[in-house]
């Protein structure tokens, strides 16, 4: 199998009008660690915790909720509550979930232009 040449920088985020479109099951497309990690990374760029929780939910669905719950050391009902969002989820819970999904949170510098844009969005 050849190594993927996917580069997320080649795929700019588009500001599209999605009114009138139907929702799709992202979990159908989350079939490799690379795709999963990029999907979660893009969800984190939204700066919206609910978007991240929805993305984590889709990844858990793609991998099998029971399997993910077992790997994270929580029962299935607790995992569903966590993924539903709305409550303040502890970092420890997110860390266990990420590990169970086979991904990790990483830190990298934000380019200056993007940093200014993100800061202005928060204000």
User: For residue 44, what is the domain's CATH number?
Assistant: 1.10.260
pLDDT of residue 99: 92
Q: What is the mean pLDDT of residues 100-118?
A: 84
| Residue 75 covered by a domain | yes
CA distance 83 to 63: 14
C-beta atoms surrounding 84 within 10 Å = 13
Per the structure, the complete domain to which residue 94 belongs is given by 25-105
| Residue 93 covered by a domain | yes
Place of tokens 């202005």: 120
Place of tokens 């380019």: 111
| Residue 55 covered by a domain | yes
CA distance 76 to 84: 12
For residue 17, pLDDT over 80 is answered with no
The mean predicted confidence, pLDDT, of the chain is 81
Global pTM exceeds 0.85: no
| Residue 14 covered by a domain | no
In percent, the amount of the chain with pLDDT more than 90 equals 21
| Residue 62 covered by a domain | yes
For residue 22, pLDDT over 90 is answered with no
For residue 24, pLDDT over 70 is answered with no
Place of tokens 């949170």: 105
Higher-confidence residue: 7 or 120? 120
pLDDT of residue 66: 94
Domain tally, the chain: 1
Name the strand (E) or helix (H) holding 88.
Answer: none
| Residue 96 covered by a domain | yes
CA distance 76 to 66: 6
């Amino acid at each position: 199998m050849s190594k993927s040449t996917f580069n997320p920088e080649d795929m700019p985020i588009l500001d599209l009008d999605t009114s009138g479109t139907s929702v799709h099951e992202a979990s159908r497309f989350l079939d490799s660690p690379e795709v999963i990690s990029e999907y979660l990374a893009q969800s984190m760029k939204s700066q919206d915790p609910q978007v991240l929780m929805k993305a984590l939910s889709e990844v858990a669905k793609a991998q099998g909720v029971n399997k993910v719950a077992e790997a994270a050391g929580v029962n299935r009902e607790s995992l569903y509550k966590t993924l539903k969002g709305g409550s303040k989820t502890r970092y420890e819970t997110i860390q266990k979930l990420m590990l169970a999904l086979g991904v990790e949170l990483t830190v990298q510098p934000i380019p200056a232009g993007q940093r200014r844009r993100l800061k202005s969005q928060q204000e």
